[in-house]
Amino acid sequence: MKWISLVPVIAVGGLLLFAAQDFPEWGDPQSPASQSPVSSHFINNTGVDTEVPNMVTAVLADYRGFDTMFETVVVFIAGIAVLAILKGSGGRRRGARRTYEVEAEPDLIVTNTVRLVVPVIQLFAFYVLAHGHVSPGGGFQGGVVMGASFILIALAWDLDHALVRMTLPRCMAIAAAGIIIYGGIGFLSMFLGGEFLDYAELERVLPVSREMARYHAMLGVEVGVGFTVTSIMFALYANLSSEGRLKGGL
């Protein structure tokens, strides 16, 4: 099977390399991708339209906000699906546990270091979320760092220690709240007279100009994304490491 499967793989590779010869040189500023009017519009007009220095965050949360909303929904659905597949399927530990596994006591150095470091990590996650307009960062990155802090608690002690702080029903509620925030800001713009996710219409409720309304609505939208991503990342880890039982685990 391994040698037969090489044939279609190499055929595909040959076709792709044959096409790759016609690409513009790597890094060419005159390539069609770099000259595209859409990208030029984004580069030239992000500052004027939204007053956000980070073009990637502006495009992600404002110009292409619809994509980001459904990406958040995809993450939420993945979390729910993992819950649906694994919940109640673990049962008791099947078979004999392998001999190399020893139920380890929480180690003194690891637990005390984690105790000191986790608040700093969470503060950094908030910083990454809030500063995403000006520096690399944003909702996804901040949310994942926050979820990783809970996973770190689960790794240093055991899973119950982390589940006490972030129970799975609360995880799902926070994930749903994130999507509701995102959709809520979109519907609010619609009720105020604009299109769905047209943040400039929020100037009627906020005492700022149209551009700054887009700036602040982007922050609200990123907060929603961050909520969903952090809770789903932790729920993913909790379900996978304990086979849905939520006891024991890594």
Partner 1 sequence: MGLALFNTFILLLLVVTALAALRVRDLITAAAVFGVYSFLMCLLWAEMGAVDVAFTEATVGAGISTVVLVATIFNLRRKSND
Partner 2 sequence: MFEDGTMINELLIERLNYFIYVVLLLIGLHAMISKRNLIKKLIGMSIFQTAIILFYVSIAVKDEATIPIYKAEHDPHGAASKAAALELNSTDEAKPLYAPAELQPEETPQYANPLPHVLMLTAIVVGVATLGLALALCLRIQQGYGTVEEDELLVKIERADARYSQSPLAKVTTPRRRPARRSRKPRTAAQAARTSPKSASSPKSTGPTQTKSSAPKTKTTQAVKKSAPATRKSVASSPKAANKKPAPKKSPGRKPAGKTSSPKKKGAE
| Residue 28 site contact among partner 1, partner 2, none (CB < 5 to 8 Å, cut-off depends on kind) | partner 2
Residue 99: strand, helix, or coil: coil
Considering only 114, 125, 128, 140, the residue that binds partner 2 (CB under 8 A) is 140
Shorter beta-carbon distance to partner 2: residue 129 or 188: 129
Q: How far is the CB of 115 from partner 2 (least distance, A)?
A: 28
Determine if 112 is a binding residue for partner 2 (CB under 8 A).
Answer: no
Are 219 and 229 in contact, with CB atoms under 8 Å apart?
no
* DSSP per-residue letters across 118-182: HHHHHHHHHHHHHGGGTSS--HHHHHHHHHHHHHHHHHHS-HHHHHHHS-HHHHHHHHHHHHHHH
Residues found near partner 1 in the complex (CB under 8 A): 54, 56-57, 98, 128, 136-138, 140-141, 144-145, 147-148, 151, 233, 236-237, 240-241, 243, 249-250
Total residues contacting partner 2 by CB under 8 A comes to 68
Determine if 127 is a binding residue for partner 2 (CB under 8 A).
Answer: no
* Footprint on residues 195-234 left by partner 2 (CB under 8 A): 209, 229, 232
Angle of helix 210-242 versus helix 168-191 axis, rounded to 10: 160
Q: How far is the CB of 186 from partner 2 (least distance, A)?
A: 17
Residue of 52, 40, 24, 10 lying closest to 199 (CA atoms):
52
Q: How far is the CB of 130 from partner 2 (least distance, A)?
A: 15
Determine if 59 is a binding residue for partner 2 (CB under 8 A).
Answer: yes
Q: How far is the CB of 35 from partner 2 (least distance, A)?
A: 9
Q: How far apart are CA 147 and CA 225, in angstroms?
A: 12
Are 50 and 211 in contact, with CB atoms under 8 Å apart?
yes
Residues whose CB falls within 8 Å of the CB of residue 201, separated by 6 or more in sequence, listed in order: 189, 192, 193, 194, 213
Q: State the DSSP code for 193.
A: T
Contact residues: partner 2, CB under 8 A: 1-2, 5-6, 8-10, 12-13, 16-17, 20-21, 23, 25-29, 31, 33-34, 36, 38-40, 42-48, 51-56, 59-60, 64, 67-68, 71, 74-75, 77-79, 81-82, 85-86, 89-90, 94, 134-136, 140, 209, 229, 232, 236, 239-240, 243
